[in-house]
Amino acid sequence: MRAPTLHLRGSYHLGAARLFGPFDVSLQGGQWTCLLGRSGVGKSTLLRLIAGLPCAGEFDGSITASDGTPVTDRISYMAQSDLLLPWLNVLENTVLGAHLRGMQPDLERAKSLLDRVGLAAHQSKRPDALSGGMRQRAALARTLMEDRPIALLDEPFSALDASTRAQMQELAAEVLSGKTVLLVTHDPAEAVRLGHQIVVFTPNAATFAQVPKASPVRDPFAPDTLTCQSTLLDCLRGSL
Amino acid sequence: MNTLRYALTASVLGLSIWQALVWITGAPHYILPSPWRVAQIGFANRALIAEHALVTASEVGLGLIIGAVLGAVTAILLANSERLHRFVMPLLVFTQAVPVFALAPVLTLWFGYGMASKIAMAVLIIYFPVTSAFYDGLMRVPANILDMAKTMGGTKSRIMWRIKIPYALPSLGTGLKLAAVYAPIGAVIGEWVGASKGLGYLMLLANGRAKIDLMFASLIALAILTILLHQLVAKLSDRMAKG
C-alpha cells in the first residue's frame, strides 16, 4: 500500500469561538511531517480530526488523501502514553488490532516486529515488567503491526528521558520509513531532528518552516540543525 | 501471615470484651451467655448447626452466583447502550429505595417456604451493588484506549469483550466482595420470615426456646460462613483481575 499525501484544510470551532484555522497544509506521502506548536493550541485535536475520532467542537473543512480513498481506515495511532493493556503480555498487545477486528493475528509477523524493536526476549512479559522506553517500543511494534500507510503520532516520546527519547526517535524513523507520518510535538529539537517538513501550528495559521538540507534523522549538534531549532523556538515564542 | 495474626488478635480482643461484659453486667446465661458456654453448646450441637449452615450456605452460594451473573449482564447491557442506561438506572435506584426486609413476606408468598424465596432475597440484595460496581468499571476505561481501539477498526462488541470487560474486572471483584457480605443477610432475612431450615431458622427456634447460647452459636457459625465466603470471593476476584 503506497503512502498517500494528505491534504488538510479548514478551521475548527467550539460554539461561536474559532479555536484554530483557517489552515491549508499537505502532508507529503511517505514523509515525516512534524506539527509543532505550543501546548493547548489544538495539535492533538487536528490529529483526532484526521483519525476520525470524536471532538468537542466542529470542523469546517476537508481531510483528503491524494489517492482519493478514505483516510480514517488507513491510519495507525500512537499516543503519548503507551496504552498497553496491563492484562495482556507484549505479544498479545502487539496483535490487539487483529483481535479487535475479529481477524486471526499473524503471530510470526508480530514476533519479527518485536525483534525489530528489540523486544524479542520480552514478548511474554506484561507491561508492568517493562521500563518506560521498552513500553513505548512495544507500542511502536503495535503501531507497525497495523501496517497502515498513515501513522499519527501524538507526542509519543515526550514522557521519556533524553537518551531513551533519542533512541526511540531513531528507531521510529527507521521502522516508519516510507509511511506518511504526522508527528505532533511541542519540542523544536524533536521536530528538526525528525521532520522532512515542519509545520508551525498557531491558532491563526499553519505555516511551513524552513528545514535543514540534511535528511532526517538529523545530527542534533549540526550547526544548521541548531540554527533551525532556535528559529523555531523564536517562532513559538512569537506565537504567544 | 500478618493478616492471620491481626485476625487472631482481633478475635481474642472481641472475646475478651464479650467475657468482660458478662462479668461486669452479671447477666444470666439466658440473656448473655459467656463465650466459653457458647463454644461448649456450639460443639455439642455441631451436627445440627452444620446441617442448617449447609442449607444457608447453599442459598447464599446460589444467590451469589445468580445475582452476580444477572448484575454483570445488566452492567454490560447498560454500558452498551446510553439510552438503556438512562431508562433503566433510575428504575434500579428506585428499587433500592424499597427495603429488602419489606419484600421478604411477598417473596415468601410468591416463591414458597423452600430455598427459592431465600435465594431470591440474596439475589435482590446483591444485584444492585454488583451491577453498579461493574458498570462504573466499564465506564471508567480511559478514553485514549478506546480511541486507539477505534482507530484499529475494533467493533463495539469486540471492544467490550477485549478491552472494557477485562479493564472492569477489578471493579466487578469489588462488587462481588460486597455481595459476599450482603448475600447472607438476604438469605437469613428470608429464613426469619418463613423456613424450616437454615441458620436464620435455627436462631429463631433457639430464641423461642430461650436457648440463647445456641442462638449465639448459630450467629457465630453465620459470621464464620460469611467470612469464609468473603475470603473465597476475594481470592477468586483477585485471580480474575490478574487474568
pLDDT of residue B92: 85
Residue B70's closest CA among B146, B149, B124, B148?
B124
pLDDT of residue B1: 60
Q: Does B159 touch chain A (CB under 8 A)?
A: yes
Which 164-203 residues of chain B touch chain A by CB within 8 A?
166-167, 169
pLDDT range class, residue A1, cuts 50, 70, 90: low
| C-beta of residue B183 within 8 angstroms of C-beta of residue B128 | no
DSSP string, B157-179: HHHIIIIIHHHHHHHHHHHHHHH
Which 159-218 residues of chain A touch chain B by CB within 8 A?
none
Contacts of A79 in chain B (CB under 8 A): 144, 147-148
pLDDT range class, residue B146, cuts 50, 70, 90: very high
**Cα gap A155→A187, rounded to integer Å:** 9
Contacts of A152 in chain B (CB under 8 A): 151
Residue position matching grid coordinates 521536530: A191
pLDDT of residue A239: 61
What is this structure's pTM? 0.83
Contacts of B144 in chain A (CB under 8 A): 79, 81, 83
Q: Does B155 touch chain A (CB under 8 A)?
A: yes
> A101 vs B154: CB contact, 8 Å cut-off?
yes
Exposure pattern of A190-219 as b/e (b: 16+ CB <10 Å)?
A: bbbbbbebbbbbbeeebeebebbeeebbbe
> A97 vs B144: CB contact, 8 Å cut-off?
no
Say whether pLDDT at A224 is over 70.
Answer: yes
pLDDT of residue A27: 93
State residue A114 phi and psi, 5-degree precision: -65, -35
Say whether pLDDT at B237 is over 80.
Answer: yes
> A100 vs B154: CB contact, 8 Å cut-off?
yes
> A100 vs B243: CB contact, 8 Å cut-off?
no
Contacts of B141 in chain A (CB under 8 A): none
For residues A203-210, average pLDDT: 87
For residues A186-197, average pLDDT: 93
pLDDT of residue B241: 77
Residue ranges with strand state E in chain A: 6-14, 17-27, 32-36, 58-65, 75-78, 150-154, 180-185, 197-201, 206-209
Tell me, what's the ipTM? 0.85
User: Which residue in chain A is spatially nearest to B241 when comparing CA positions?
Assistant: A87
pLDDT of residue A4: 93
pLDDT of residue B93: 84
Percent with pLDDT over 70 in chain B: 99
> B162 vs A100: CB contact, 8 Å cut-off?
yes
What pLDDT digit, counting tens, does each position of A113-147 carry?
A: 899 888 999 999 999 999 988 998 899 899 989 98
* Cβ–Cβ pairs < 8 A, chains A and B: 59
First-last CA distance in chain A: 41
- Select from B150, B154, B167 the Cβ nearest to the Cβ of A53: B150
- H-helix or E-strand spanning residue B110: helix B100-111
**Sign for the pseudo-dihedral over CA of B174, B180, B185, B186:** positive
User: Which residue in chain A is spatially nearest to B154 when comparing CA positions?
Assistant: A100
Residue position matching grid coordinates 505479544: A91
> B153 vs A77: CB contact, 8 Å cut-off?
no
- Select from B148, B158, B243 the Cβ nearest to the Cβ of A77: B148
pLDDT range class, residue B243, cuts 50, 70, 90: low
What pLDDT digit, counting tens, does each position of A91-118 carry?
A: 999 999 999 999 999 999 999 989 988 8
Q: Does A105 touch chain B (CB under 8 A)?
A: no
Q: Does B150 touch chain A (CB under 8 A)?
A: yes
What pLDDT digit, counting tens, does each position of A43-75 carry?
A: 889 999 999 998 999 999 999 999 999 998 899
pLDDT of residue B103: 86
B48, with CB counted inside 10 A (0-12, 13-18, 19+), is middle
Q: Does A2 touch chain B (CB under 8 A)?
A: no
pLDDT range class, residue B71, cuts 50, 70, 90: very high
What pLDDT digit, counting tens, does each position of B167-210 carry?
A: 999 999 999 999 999 999 999 999 998 888 999 999 999 999 98
Average pLDDT, chain B: 91
